[in-house]
Structure formats: structure tokens, C-alpha cells
Amino acid sequence: MIPSVDRVDVLLSQDELNERISALGAEITARYRGRDLTLVGILKGSALFLTDLMRAIALPLQIDFLELSSYKGGMASTGSVRLVKDLTHSIEGKDVIIVEDIVDTGLTLRYLLQTLATRKPASLATATLLDKPSGRVEGADCDLDFVGFTIPGHFVVGYGLDLAGYFRNLPYVGIYHPEEDS
């Protein structure tokens, strides 16, 4: 069944997202001047954030993508992470920023940091639009270098984040209220 947008309440508006992403871009621009920057977007959720963030960074940079899977179409994390698509190019010697839409349990990011560190980047940092610290599981506390917003423990959709593949195209981040709540 296609979920209804009527069950989504706006948490972060398009204007709030734009403003914060511009600020993150400026921060990254200041910190990475003179470096060989690669943004690694984690598909599919980070697609919108990555494309807006890269436009807010006033530096030469490259992008690449990885696809992982941790949520299997529902609202709860399964706890397992699977590599679906690897990077196209080597990141050896590059200053890499992993770009995520959300850090929830932290398991995806922990896997990414461990995996990408073995590929000898010059540096490895993390940027996430959303940080949901209440979701973090033991042993998956990662350092987040660039955070857009810290959010409470709701299930959020929009701006790349999905429910069963839907809602990624919403231009805002919203809280999804499942039917049982009504």
C-alpha cells in the first residue's frame, strides 16, 4: 500500500533545511580549502542532501556513491548492514567526507568508517543531515564531524528518507504517524 502524506507532519521545513545546509557547506569550505575532497554519498537516503550540500561547498571536489542497506522496508532497523553497491573510484589519498541522511543506531556509519578506513584515505570525516542519538546502540557511538540537526526519536521521512521506498521526494523532513496511532 502507498503510504499517505496526510500522516506526515513537517519537522524541518524546506527553508530550515536550506539555511542549515548552506551553513554546513560554508563550514566544510573553510575546513577543506587546499585539500583533495571527495564526498561519498550513501544511497539512497543521502541523495537530496548530497546534491544540495555539494552546491553549498565552494571548492573543487569529487563525488562517489556507496549503497548499503540496513532498514528492510519497514520502520525498525534490523541491525545488519549489507553492501549493495561499492564506490566506483579509489579514495586512497583523498580527503573523504561520508555523507548520510540520518544516523540512527549508528551501525551503518560504524560499518562505513571501518570499511573506508582500510582504503587509505588521507582523512575520513562524517556529515549527516540528521542525528537521532536516542536510537544509538551500544558500541556504535561514532564521531560526527558535521551534523545538520539533532532530532528526537520519531520515525522521519522526506528529503531522501523513506517509508517502504516512498516519501523520499518530499522537500521537507516530516514525522510519520503510523495508522495504529489514530
Residue 6 annotated to the active site: no
Q: How far is the CB of 101 from ligand PRP (least distance, A)?
A: 5
Q: Among 100, 126, 131, 170, which residue interacts with ligand PRP (rule: CB under 6 A)?
A: 100
Is the Cβ of residue 52 or residue 100 nearer to ligand PRP in the bound state?
100
Q: In what order do the strands lie in the sheet with 8-12?
A: 8-12, 173-176, 156-157
Is the Cβ of residue 93 or residue 169 nearer to ligand PRP in the bound state?
169
Q: Is 69 in the site for ligand PRP (CB under 6 A)?
A: yes
Grid cell at residue 180: 495504529
Q: Is 70 in the site for ligand PRP (CB under 6 A)?
A: yes
Q: Which of 104, 145, 162, 181 is catalytic?
A: 104
Say if residue 44 is preceded by a cis peptide, omega within 30 of 0. yes
Cα dihedral value 13, 15, 19, 20, nearest 10: 10
Please state the length of the chain. Answer: 182
From the list 2-10, 24-32, 99-107, 151-159, the region that binds ligand PRP by CB under 6 A is 99-107
Q: How far is the CB of 9 from ligand PRP (least distance, A)?
A: 20
Q: Which of 60, 56, 55, 61 is nearest to 38 (CA)?
A: 61
**CA gyration radius for the chain?**
16
Q: Among 25, 41, 45, 121, which residue interacts with ligand PRP (rule: CB under 6 A)?
A: 45
User: What is the CB neighbour count within 10 angstroms for residue 83?
Assistant: 12
Is the Cβ of residue 25 or residue 106 nearer to ligand PRP in the bound state?
106
Contact in structure between 176 and 17 (CB atoms under 8 Å): no
Q: Among 107, 163, 170, 173, which residue interacts with ligand PRP (rule: CB under 6 A)?
A: 107
Is the Cβ of residue 52 or residue 162 nearer to ligand PRP in the bound state?
162
Q: Closest-CB residue for ligand PRP?
A: 45
In whole angstroms, give the CA distance from residue 139 to residue 14: 34
Q: Which amino acid is at 80?
A: S
Which residues make beta-bridge pairs with 161?
A: 158
- Provide the binding-site residues for ligand PRP, judged by CB under 6 A: 42-45, 68-71, 77, 100-109, 162
Residues taking part in catalysis: 104
